[in-house]
Every structure is written in structure tokens, then in C-alpha cells.
Amino acid sequence: MKHRLLGAVSTIALGAAYGSFTSGAARAGLVCSPGSSSTVGSYTCTETVTAPAGPLLTSNVLALDQWMSLADAGYTQTLSKVSYSLGATLNGFAEVTNTDTITVNGSFIAGLTFTATNGPGAPSNFLSPGRVYRTTVFGPAITLAAGASTPYTFGAGGLTGSKTVSGTLSGFVGSGTFSAIVAVALRANGYGFVSSPAGNFASSITISSVAPTIQLTYDFTTSVSTPEPASLALLGVGLAGAGVVRRRRKT
């Protein structure tokens, strides 16, 4: 009986020192590069969420995943930075004519403005209410001979520069989701075709829809866990107990 009791104390001590851990399922939308859940270093998880294509100025609710640790027993993963970019694909079509007497290269270009605010469940320091972001989107390049015309279909897309979240990151940690509300508009300078040489394209453009995107990035570190002093003491008691058991068995 004493042997079994001391053996049980040893097992409990080991568990207390290193912690019991059951690895959960990875976030469905996050693509991570952690090496492995027991590899020490700095890594990232990235998620790109795009709303269904719809009209300009529509408020789109984009659902995003929280980050959660998947460290193996004896290791700790800590979220160190949250950043994001906004973007959109502007969809449409046109009839383009080269009005010059030489061959001309060009493409569709548009300036976009994003109004992004926190949606349900979002940490208060994620998106500032009513904050405006800007980016420029480009369609596929074309080449037209002098006087030639062509139908042109575009899905012009682009991302803003990365923005880093400031303040506490605790609201981004968990197994749930939160949301962002994004509306997209054309900037004051509008849209059109740029060409080389300049000003030699004539076009009629129809914008049919826009599909806004958020790209969310979690930076985190994996390190070896350091047992607390009380846990180390308990581990020592357990190992000492195991030693007593071994000595008694020898006698």
C-alpha cells in the first residue's frame, strides 16, 4: 500500500511541475507557421477573410478568429503582436480604345477608401471607430495597337499597409471569433485607365461590385516553460518518494 501511495505522489508531482495539456484543434481560418507546437522561436498565424461581392458603400461584416495557444506540455506560446491590412477587389468591365497612332500599354486603376469599425465581440483596441484607410487597386495590364479596341474585364485588387494594434492583446486570445464592419467607397480622384504614353486610352467603365478583405496576422513566440518554485518543490518531494520506493524494493 505504501509503495502504491508513494508512486501516486510521484506521478502527481510530475504533472504539477509540467502541466497537463491536451492540444486543441487549430483555428479553422488561420494558417500558421509554428514549426511545431514544441519548437522554440517566433512564428505567425495569418487569416484572410473576404466578404461576398456586393455594391459599393455596403457595410460588410467580416468574422475573424481569435488566436489560441497549441503548445505541447512543457512549452508556452505567447501572443506578441496583432496586425492587419484592409483590401478589396473592385469588379467590373469596360470597352477600351487606343486613340493614339502607336501601340500603347495600360491598365485600370482606382483609389479606394475603407471605413472600418469594430463589430460584435471585437476588442476595443482593434479598429478605431470610423477610422479611414486608403489604397490603390490595379487591374490587369493590356497592350493595344494604334486605333484598336478591346473589351476589358477587371478584378482590380490591393491591400493597405499593415497596421499594428496597440495596447493589451488579451481580447484577441481565445477559441471564439470577433467581427469587423467594413464599407468601401471610391476616392475623390475616382478611377480610369492609365497608359504609356499617357492619355491615349478612351474607355467606358462599369463597376459591378466590390469585395472587401481583411488580412489578420498574429505574431507569437514558443518557449520552454519554467516550473514555478512551489511546483519544483513538489517535484522534488515526488522524486524523493520514488527513491524511497526503489530503496525499499532493493531490501
Give pLDDT tens digits for 110-161.
999 999 999 999 999 999 766 788 999 999 999 999 999 999 999 999 999 9
Residue 230 zone, left/alpha/beta (φ > 0; ψ -120 to 50; rest): alpha
Residues 247 and 192 in one domain: no
Q: Provide the greatest CA pair distance for the chain.
A: 105
Of residues 211 and 131, more confidence is placed in 211
Q: Do 89 and 168 reside in the same domain of the chain?
A: yes
48 and 161 within one domain: yes
Choose the weakest-confidence range: 8-12, 82-86, 179-183, 223-227: 8-12
For residue 173, give the H/E element and its range.
none
Identify the pLDDT of residue 81: 97
Share of the chain above pLDDT 90, in %: 67
Q: CA distances (Å), 120 to each of 61, 62, 170, 183, in order?
A: 9, 10, 16, 16
Q: Residue 236 — very low, low, confident or very high, per pLDDT cuts 50/70/90?
A: low
Q: How confident is the model at residue 11 (pLDDT cuts 50, 70, 90)?
A: very low
Output 227 or 5, whichever has higher pLDDT.
227
Whether residues 154 and 56 fall in one domain: yes
Question: Residue 54's CB: how many other CB atoms inside 10 A?
Answer: 14
pLDDT-based confidence at residue 4 (cuts at 50, 70, 90): very low
Residue from 251, 244, 233, 235 nearest 4 by CA: 244
Given a cut of 50, whether residue 25 has pLDDT beyond it is no
Domain with 5, as residue range(s), is 1-19+226-251
Would you state the pLDDT for residue 238? 53
Q: Are residues 54 and 127 in the same domain?
A: yes
Mean pLDDT score across all residues of the chain = 82
154 with 220, same domain: the answer is: yes
pLDDT confidence of residue 155: 94
Q: First-to-last CA distance in the chain? A: 16
Outline where 113-173 has alpha helix (H): none
- Residue owning grid cell 469585395: 211
Measure the CA–CA gap between 199 and 55, rounded to whole angstroms.
29
Give the confidence band of 248 by pLDDT, cuts at 50, 70, 90: low
Residue 19 has a CB neighbour count (10 Å cut-off) of 14
> How large is the average pLDDT for residues 56-83?
94
Query: Do 186 and 116 fall into the same domain?
Result: yes
Same domain, 45 and 82: yes
**Structural Rg of the chain based on CA atoms:** 29
Query: Within this chain, do residues 91 and 177 fall inside the same structural domain, yes or no?
Result: yes
Q: Are residues 159 and 250 in the same domain?
A: no
**Cβ neighbourhood burial of 119 (10 Å; 0-12, 13-18, 19+):** buried
pLDDT at residue 17 greater than cutoff 50? no
d(CA 44, CA 84): 12
Q: Same domain for 117 and 135?
A: yes
Give the number of domains in the chain: 2
125 close to 166: Cβ distance less than 8 angstroms: yes
Residue 6 pLDDT class (50, 70, 90 cuts):
very low
120 and 188: one domain?
yes
Q: Across residues 179-198, what is the average pLDDT?
A: 91
Asked if 133 and 116 count as a contact pair (C-beta separation under 8 A), the reply is yes
Residue bearing the bigger pLDDT, 230 or 35? 35
